[in-house]
Structure 1
């Protein structure tokens, strides 16, 4: 299967797109290569939507089911009764159209039905919990399979279980779906000249988490010391049956264009937290899963850049894969419910939050390296080459925490990054970070992080 070449010199009308991208069978071509972007040396994966390997994988049902399950996505691979169905048209991070079955019950494919299924359009602004879950799962499924666009079929089973029925990279389209797809594609094409941005255009924020545990193993509730919101606050996750008891502490520094300044603000936030919780018989723990049942995140916020699947895949390659080399082996249990590849959330300020990483507050070296690398990757991702995660074996190595399999890949990524002119700007942080990655040591999630940060009081 060869991608269809789409020249973009000058303005491209929707009618022109339709003539090229919709087949005589009224199906969308399954792969597109964008051509004609002047004065840009973007990599092929930036200019190709639905790469060949991803399309081939999405047409093999057994492979498709295996990949989706690896990413922690519920798949309807049995003939079970569903209460309703959704057909969701997706272009990267956007749901472009959505339809819901009219009848209350429908059988999955393979079971005879006495009625012809009919669907009605769903307002994309509908904000019910079910609609939010359907949209999120549709985008996740498309991303997990390495696709950039397609149609996702979702089934709702008893107990409000949301499952993926199918993902189709070259679907049949009605006129509404065609129009919304071409609008999304046009937006992506128009954004391409602006995706390679100056470093100083990228604004960084963060809200890494840690947990406080007494030496006897019992948790200290963050909600006893910190408000729900604020520069230092508690996360919404509660402990046991008491919803007011929240154990996770979040440091939320003011965003900045300077990674070093962000680290300083994080440090000041931890000092503030230490003054509030002036207890010596306690450990501050970070990482992925330092206490059973409470996975931690090292979320990074970005503004000043255009969010798309290509950017998320770059963050997965250059941030998520390297951290596996130094993570505590117990942290593997955080995945795939948390820490799954491509996890993101749109933010009210117009930017987005990358949520895949564990809490990198384990050490200052790790924190400085992660934030400097995040800024570099987001500014330069269109010219970065990595596409290893298109292979199932590499995805599995990530979820399994297979350090030996990922080490040569990360080594190659480091060599590529060192070739960027902008690497020199953060070389001090990045060299220390990568030396730590290849030290054959792992962080210890049972170790108090205050000692390395020099935050009193610590044992």
Structure 2
């Protein structure tokens, strides 16, 4: 069987049949579109991938003395810089948002923070090397192996002293399951970790994960009260610090279809009722499709803002996510309506828009169990 036929069959099996979108689609998600002539050409990365599986990643170099305008590409391999890791994730996100499961994307850093999309295109099987073609086959075969999914989470928050109203160093309450994020702040030559992470033990069901979360929630609240600290859960409490509610999945295929299900059926309705959303977070760390491969043969879904404050009542959210991922091959995704994408990035919400989303998406579920869990999730959101 040809590799193209294998890929087509694979996409039919996982119900991934979305049409390719143009590069201009990325502007709806607050991306900048540019050219390789903008800024330093050495800060470019070129990624070739099948879904989230990297087929190659290359960095740009200056051309020779006589061809200074020439772009030379070299393999990144293992010795990548931190900013290159960020650019690779950014390029994969671009391929996801334009529905190009086998494609190539070039992105570049401009200045200290901005990232520009230079080029994105679909690639044909014939353009792959023999090694890359075999790797794609390996990925397809790997996804056919069924194993028990594991579930985890890390929920971010910040601590504020109730008397002084100052943010506190996260290590005041850290333990094996209370850690801190990599984000740092420096004050009087001292390094602080302002973001706390709640890290429950992995579980084989969402009911078990919820029980683990509840235990940690109660422990954390008790310790915070002891030190007269308050948990701050705004998605962007101050400056450059953003708080997410990340979900972790192990032993699960890492495909565009699985991420699309979470974007379409979890995040969009959540965003339409979120009380204190952050435009800055949604346009950066919280963009739709923001994911990262993990060490447990799965991925981390990083789009949701922190939901630490909702832990006691969040079981409907967790059960809904579990159903979506365990039934991913039975649910057909579609392009997210433009009005919901616009609402997401511009903080638009309201009962009318929320009801429109419910009416347009409930009928996509065929099983009674799915509809029941969908309804439970909607009731949960209405009570946030």
Q: State whether TM-score is above 0.5.
A: yes
The equivalent position to 2:342 in structure 1, one of 396, 418, 426, is 396
Matches of 2:362 and 2:163 in 1, distance apart? 41
2:243 pairs with 1:296: yes
Unaligned runs of 5+ in 1: 1-11, 22-31, 59-63, 107-112, 444-459
Paired position in structure 1 for 2:176 = 230
The verdict on how the C-alpha distance between 1:217 and 1:74 changes in structure 2, with shifts beyond 3 A counting, is: farther
Give the alignment's TM-score, normalised by structure 2: 0.83
Give the alignment's TM-score, normalised by structure 1: 0.71
Paired position in structure 2 for 1:142 = 95
Unaligned runs of 5+ in 2: none
Paired position in structure 2 for 1:95 = 54
The verdict on how the C-alpha distance between 1:411 and 1:133 changes in structure 2, with shifts beyond 3 A counting, is: same
The equivalent position to 1:125 in structure 2, one of 64, 67, 78, is 78
2:19 pairs with 1:52: yes
The answer to whether the Cα contact below 8 Å between 1:206 and 1:301 also exists between their aligned partners in 2 is: yes
Matches of 1:320 and 1:330 in 2, distance apart? 12
2:137 pairs with 1:190: no
Paired position in structure 2 for 1:447 = none
Matches of 1:36 and 1:244 in 2, distance apart? 48
Paired position in structure 2 for 1:448 = none
Matches of 2:285 and 2:161 in 1, distance apart? 25
Aligned residues: 380
After TM superposition, what 4+ stretches of structure 1 lie above 6 angstroms from structure 2?
Answer: none
The answer to whether the Cα contact below 8 Å between 1:372 and 1:430 also exists between their aligned partners in 2 is: no
- What is the Cα deviation at residue 315 of structure 1? 1.0
The verdict on how the C-alpha distance between 1:245 and 1:169 changes in structure 2, with shifts beyond 3 A counting, is: same
Paired position in structure 1 for 2:118 = 165
- What is the Cα deviation at residue 378 of structure 1? 1.0
2:317 pairs with 1:317: no
2:274 pairs with 1:332: no
Select the structure of larger CA radius of gyration: 1
2:12 pairs with 1:68: no
- What is the Cα deviation at residue 290 of structure 1? 4.7
Paired position in structure 2 for 1:24 = none
Paired position in structure 1 for 2:380 = 436
- What is the Cα deviation at residue 261 of structure 1? 2.0
1:168 aligns to what SS in structure 2?
strand
The verdict on how the C-alpha distance between 1:212 and 1:99 changes in structure 2, with shifts beyond 3 A counting, is: closer
Deviates most, 118-127 or 259-268: 118-127
Show CA shifts across 1:47-81 (max 9, x none).
x4xx4342xx24xxxxx2xx334434443258534
Deviates most, 391-400 or 247-256: 391-400
The verdict on how the C-alpha distance between 1:217 and 1:258 changes in structure 2, with shifts beyond 3 A counting, is: farther
Matches of 1:179 and 1:160 in 2, distance apart? 37
The verdict on how the C-alpha distance between 1:325 and 1:166 changes in structure 2, with shifts beyond 3 A counting, is: same
Show CA shifts across 1:375-410 (max 9, x none).
111111122123132x54432222223334454223
Show CA shifts across 1:99-155 (max 9, x none).
44442599xxxxxx9667363440432322243233222212212222212111234
What value does the CA root-mean-square deviation take over the aligned residues? 3.5
1:278 aligns to what SS in structure 2?
helix
The verdict on how the C-alpha distance between 1:132 and 1:104 changes in structure 2, with shifts beyond 3 A counting, is: farther
